Amino acid sequence: MRSLFIGDIVGRPGRSVVQENLRSLKKEYSLDLIVANGENAAGGFGVTDKVYQELREMGIDVITSGNHIWDKKEVYQVIDQEDRLLRPLNFPPKAPGRGYGIYNVSGKGNIGVINLSGRVFMAPSDCPFRTFDDTIERIRKVTPYVIVDFHAEATSEKKAFLHYTDGRVTAVLGTHTHVQTADAQITAKGTAYISDVGMTGVQDSVIGVEPEAIINRFITGLPQRFEVAKGTPEIRAVFLEANAQGKATTFETIELT
């Protein structure tokens, strides 16, 4: 199974660079599945039905998210109807949408994708460790391939989650902080890990936003209007290959202008 996971897509620049490069990436890596975190894809905050459909038409198979999933109210029109748009599984049980899915990959079988949110420095949510335990066996009865988008702030929480799930999933891929980390690895038990896949958008920015507003907020402590940065966007992603037992065999970071 050969997969691509695209780091947090930020606004139109992020969407445009994916549109321009995804076909060639799919051919170069002979991809079976493409997943992307899209919680910042609509104007830098949230996702709408229109943006969701645009991402799907590009060839993205599954779109994960995080704490910004509700920023655009239009998402309520789509999230209950589309099983390929995920929100963190450990959000309150009555929240709209779903937190995991099992998807058929033509000729390769099924693959599970789980979306979870951390709790350190994040909005309150249920325990991601316990939520994972409540779900993983249901997925593994169907498929050994399991990718987790762990959307969290603290690297310590992400690393702890890796050790907790090591050998039980194919990959734990960190998102949310928008800066690709240098700790990509495959453990001895066959789980691929990176603390943060990074951001797909304008890298010459403050995590995808025009710097001036962020600087003013730090200096004054006052609310500011954030705007998606202008400039040349780049893709941050990871390529993952796994064997028939769902163990990661190849794991590479991607930086693409």
Parent domain of 71: 2-256
d(CA 34, CA 239): 9
Instruction: Output the pTM of the full model.
Output: 0.97
The count of domains in the chain is: 1
Q: Which of 68, 151, 176, 178 is catalytic?
A: 68
Closest CA to 87 of 99, 96, 75, 78: 99
147 neighbors 5 (Cβ within 8 angstroms)? yes
Residue 190 has pLDDT above 90, yes or no: yes
Cβ contacts of 68 within 8 Å, gap of 6 or more: 39, 40, 45, 46
* Residue 32 pLDDT class (50, 70, 90 cuts): very high
Give residue-wise pLDDT tens across range 128-151: 999 999 999 999 999 999 999 999
- Residue 257 is predicted with a pLDDT of 82
Residue 107 has pLDDT above 90, yes or no: no
Residue 2 has pLDDT above 90, yes or no: yes
Instruction: Kindly report the CATH number assigned to the domain that includes residue 115.
Output: 3.60.21.10
Residue 208 has pLDDT above 90, yes or no: yes
Q: Is residue 176 annotated as a catalytic residue, yes or no? A: no
| Main-chain dihedrals φ then ψ at residue 111, nearest 5 degrees | -140, 140
